[in-house]
Copies of this chain bind each other. A is one copy, B any other.
Amino acid sequence: MTSAKFQKPFLAALAGQRQPRPPVWLMRQAGRYLPEYREIRARAKSFLDFCYTPASTVEATLQPIRRFGFDAAILFSDILVLPDALGQRVTFETGEGPRLEPIADAAGFSRLRSEPDWERLTPAFETLDRLKTALPAEVALIGFCGAPWTVASYMIAGRGTPDQGPARLFAYRHPELFGALIDRLVDASADYLVHQIVAGAEAVQIFDSWAGVLPPAEFERWCVAPLAALVAKVKAREPGTPIIAFPRGAASQLGKFSGMKGVAAIGLDTAVEPAAAAAMLPGDMALQGNLDPLALVAGGRALDEGIDRVLEGFRPRAHIFNLGHGILPETPIAHVERIMARVRGA
Complex: A324 Cα to B302 Cα, angstroms: 33
Contacts of A214 in B (CB 8 A): 270-271
Complex: A214 Cα to B249 Cα, angstroms: 11
Chain A interface size band reads 35 or more
Given A168-B292, A169-B294, A298-B172, answer yes or no on A309-B217 (Cβ-Cβ < 8 Å): yes
Given A162-B162, A168-B294, A252-B252, answer yes or no on A302-B216 (Cβ-Cβ < 8 Å): no
Contact partner of A253 (CB less than 8 A), chosen from B217, B249, B273, is B273
Q: Assess whether A156 is interfacial by the CB under 8 Å rule.
A: no
Given A217-B309, A324-B215, answer yes or no on A294-B172 (Cβ-Cβ < 8 Å): yes
A268 to chain B, nearest CB (A): 10
Q: Assess whether A276 is interfacial by the CB under 8 Å rule.
A: yes
Q: Assess whether A224 is interfacial by the CB under 8 Å rule.
A: no
Contacts of A271 in B (CB 8 A): 212-216, 219, 249-250, 252-253
Complex: A297 Cα to B173 Cα, angstroms: 10
Given A251-B251, A253-B273, answer yes or no on A215-B292 (Cβ-Cβ < 8 Å): yes
Q: Assess whether A278 is interfacial by the CB under 8 Å rule.
A: no
Copies of this chain in the oligomer: 2
B216 near A169 with CB under 8 A, answer no
Known: A162-B162, A168-B292, A168-B294. 19 other contacts (CB 8 A): A169-B298, A172-B294, A172-B295, A172-B297, A172-B298, A173-B302, A212-B271, A213-B271, A214-B271, A215-B271, A215-B292, A215-B295, A217-B309, A251-B253, A252-B252, A252-B254, A252-B272, A252-B273, A253-B273
Give a binary string over A223-262; 1 marks a CB under 8 Å from any B CB, 0 the rest: 0000000000000000000000000011111100000000
B251 near A302 with CB under 8 A, answer no
Q: Assess whether A165 is interfacial by the CB under 8 Å rule.
A: yes
Given A252-B273, A272-B252, A273-B253, answer yes or no on A297-B169 (Cβ-Cβ < 8 Å): yes
